[in-house]
Amino acid sequence: MSDDTTPGWKKVLTYFNLGLAESQDNIVFSLGQPLPHVPRWNRETAPAPQSPEGSAERGEGNSNQSDAEKEENATQNEHSSPGRTVSGVTHDGRYNGVGEPVISYQPQHDHPERRERTDDTINTTKSNRSGPNPFAIDSEPIGGRHPDEERNWWAKIRARHPEPLAEFLATGIAVLMGLGSTLSVNLSADQDIKYGSYETTCWAWGFAWMLGIYLAGGVSGAHMNPAISICFSIFRGFPWKRCVVYISVQFVAGIVAGALAYGIYRDTILHVDPTMTTMAQTFFSTPQEWVSRGSAFFDQTVGSAIMMIAVLALGDDQNNPPGAGMHAFVLGLLVTALKFTLGYNIGSALNPASDFGPRLIAWAVGYRGPEVWKSGWFALGPCFGTLVGSVAGCVLYDALVFTGPESPINYKRKGPTKDRIRKKFRKVFCLNSSD
């Protein structure tokens, strides 16, 4: 609870529920593992199915069981919570996207104080993490000393809000490495010794994105792209509060990465382009001179759609996801393939954050050509085109392949909104309300 004495920045962080230690809704929507199944649209929980094994444990369906055994099992079941068996295995009425019960182990005979949930314990009904919260600042003492005694103010902030910090690190390093490869190739293009070619930049951007997922996939999910975060919110239940914070962090990380890349290559840039006129397009995407706006927008939309189709397919545990630890590698190959196949016309800027940050830095250091802002390509392509294509890709995948109920494509919504639409439809077309 916040009061008048609480600092403003802490009120903002509390409102957005960023810290795992303060938020129960701490599901990780990661590009490095299958996506979680989050019930949505006021979904009613179905009754728990009773398997033969569960019935046998409860003493049902076994005619050879003695009356004493049945009475003992019945007594034990009186002290069990709904959905829990005598052995402590429970599904609590929770089901995944295909209707199978989600099983978790909860010991039957626990001490009362251990059953009381504290802020540093993950709620297994809302999280795909298990065990104690690794980021909690009020966890149990380790080695006889409370961990909070050894932590300074920054460690406490990091422990409460790990997701935005991890997202910043992953996005910043990925953009810095990718932009650095583009700068090294373009700046050495007219020199006797060339440091790579366009193929080099394609591989570098792919490996940079792979590294970003490995860096923060287990903490923030390593979206590193506002379009991915928005699509996860629309089609997979990623909290919108977190989505807003992720997008802000991604744009800030892109700006910082662009500034670092310019600082590293500043002397070379001034040597190759002393008039600050010819190297602006190295920092951001720009359509070729002969490519029309319509073709460039179509290119951007198709590439973004393929990107999101692949992201959802790799995160679909009912499809054919790669093995453990391979998601990042496959997504790195995806970025490389998109650069190879769709990068010639416009540079394949499938990420608004990685385009905006370096573009802003290029303008700040002295590039004033029309291709920076006046052409309007940033708003049309990297922003609008990427978002439209990403949403279209999600619609295609969910309509043709995905079967989970968390997608709005697959679930039949119920509630007052649908009733109002039905009544208005009947009123307009003069239909009998009893039909």
pLDDT tens, residue order, the chain (435 aa): 445 555 555 554 444 444 333 333 578 898 888 888 887 765 444 333 343 344 444 444 444 555 555 555 555 554 444 454 444 445 556 655 555 555 554 544 444 443 343 344 333 334 444 455 555 544 444 455 555 667 787 888 888 888 999 999 999 999 999 999 999 999 888 777 778 888 999 999 999 999 999 999 989 999 999 999 999 999 998 999 999 999 999 999 999 999 999 999 999 999 988 888 888 888 988 888 898 999 999 999 999 999 999 999 999 988 888 887 899 999 999 999 999 999 888 887 789 999 999 999 999 998 888 888 888 888 998 999 999 999 999 999 999 999 888 888 887 766 666 666 666 666 666 655 444
Q: Which pTM was predicted?
A: 0.69
CATH no., domain 160-400: 1.20.1080.10
Can you say whether the dihedral through the CA atoms of 300, 200, 262, 230 is positive or negative? Answer: positive
- C-alpha 203/C-alpha 337 separation (Å) is 9
CA 271/CA 278 separation, integer angstroms = 12
Nearest by Cα to 31 from 236, 173, 262 = 236
DSSP labels, 192-240:
SS----HHHHHHHHHHHHHHHHHHHTTTT----SHHHHHHHHHHS---H
Helix, strand, coil content of the chain in percent (nearest 5): 50, 5, 45
pLDDT tens sequence across 23-82: 335 788 988 888 888 877 654 443 333 433 444 444 444 445 555 555 555 555 544 444
d(CA 300, CA 405): 29
What are the residue boundaries of the structural domains of the chain, listed by start? 160-400
pLDDT at res. 157: 83
